[in-house]
Amino acid sequence: MPNTIGSTNKVNDETPVELQEMVEAINALPARYRDAVTPALQRVVECSTRRRRILNLVQEALSQLRLDMKYLIFDLEATRRERDSFREQLENRGDV
């Protein structure tokens, strides 16, 4: 069986459709042309997959950061309310 990009399991569900189509087109080429282009195509597929994974990690990190910011803002507002309450109690003691 000829060594094709698809047989190396490099193309998967994470690979963009355009790259999958390119892989199919290159796999249909005669062996001498396919062998010349296959290493470069494998690098492109690997880079695309790596970029997609990195993008997913960045998106997850941003989502976590947004959630952390919401908790921090909530905590800050609660702390300010407590401070204002204690300040008011101190002022009321001074008035008596």
Sign of the alpha-carbon torsion through 24, 29, 30, 36: negative
Q: What digits encode the pLDDT tens for the residues 23-38?
A: 999 999 999 999 999 9
Query: DSSP assignment of 32-96, as one string?
Result: HHHHHHHHHHHHHHHHHHHHHHHHHHHHHHHHHHHHHHHHHHHHHHHHHHHHHHHHHHHHHHHH-
pTM for this structure? 0.66
User: How many CB atoms sit inside 10 A of residue 89's CB?
Assistant: 10
Q: Tell me: pLDDT of 69 over 80.
A: yes
pLDDT tens track for 2-12: 455 554 446 67
Q: What is the dihedral of CA 29, 35, 36, 38, to 10 degrees?
A: 90
Mean of the per-residue pLDDT values for the chain? 89
